[in-house]
Amino acid sequence: MQQHSESDQVQLDLQTNSTRFHVLVGLTGSVAALKAPLLATQLLEIPGVEVRVVTTDHATHFYDINEVPVRVYTDKDEWEIWTKRSDPVLHIELRRWADLLVIAPLDANTLGKIASGICDNLLTCVVRAWDTSRPLLFCPAMNTAMWQHPITAQQVATLKSFGYVEIPCIAKKLVCGDEGKGAMAEVSTIVDTVKQYIQKHPE
């Protein structure tokens, strides 16, 4: 059997197939990340779609990576794959591969990072390098008190000014017991929105 290095494997996993639409899912440290397996599964059901996932370390607290039916990239991958100058830089390879990025959920911390241009993990580096001619969708998810803080509206507006598209959060009883706005949009809503962008994508 032919052996491949970690660097080779990244290139194999991220080969560009022009006949497929590449959806990259970003996961951050909100309890809504527990829906990651369901979201990835439903996205895979869209004809002609390939899916990869980029997760923050905090997001993995809420779901089991082994239950996600696609390749999940972590901060550890970013640093282990690159060992010499000729090796691929993972956040750039992911940026090249993806036709669309959907961050679901986008927690308050990562919202603030992206709005400020901070890129201190794999996901925020992908965002900082993102080709703004391609769609970036974000799904805020946080406690109602955090959602209602004045800085949140400013940061959401900043992301929109970059051309990013909000899939609005919804009101429901949150895991913490509070009731109000701040829950991530339903998975069905996110998938339907992604489908709309795929339909707009030139063949």
CATH at residue 195: 3.40.50.1950
Q: Which residues contact 62 (CB under 8 A, 6 or more apart)?
A: 29, 30, 31, 32, 33, 34, 36
Reported confidence tier of residue 82, pLDDT bands at 50, 70, 90: confident
User: Which residues form the domain of 48?
Assistant: 20-177+190-200
Answer whether residue 92 is part of any domain: yes
Higher pLDDT, 173 or 71: 71
In a domain, 77, yes or no: yes
pTM of full prediction above 0.75: yes
Any domain includes 10: no
Residue 9 included in any domain: no
> Residue 8: pLDDT above 60?
no
Give residue 19's pLDDT. 78
- Identify the pLDDT of residue 2: 38
Percentage of residues in the chain with pLDDT exceeding 70? 88
Whether 128 is covered by a domain: the verdict is yes
Q: Does a structural domain hold residue 53?
A: yes
From 119, 125, 139, 176, active-site residue = 176
Query: Does the active-site annotation cover 119?
Result: no
Mark residue 117 as left, alpha or beta (left: phi above 0; alpha: psi -120 to 50; beta: remaining): left
Total domains, the chain: 1
Tell me, yes or no, whether 138 lies in a domain.
yes
pLDDT at 6 over 60: no
Residue 111 in this model has a pLDDT that exceeds 90: yes
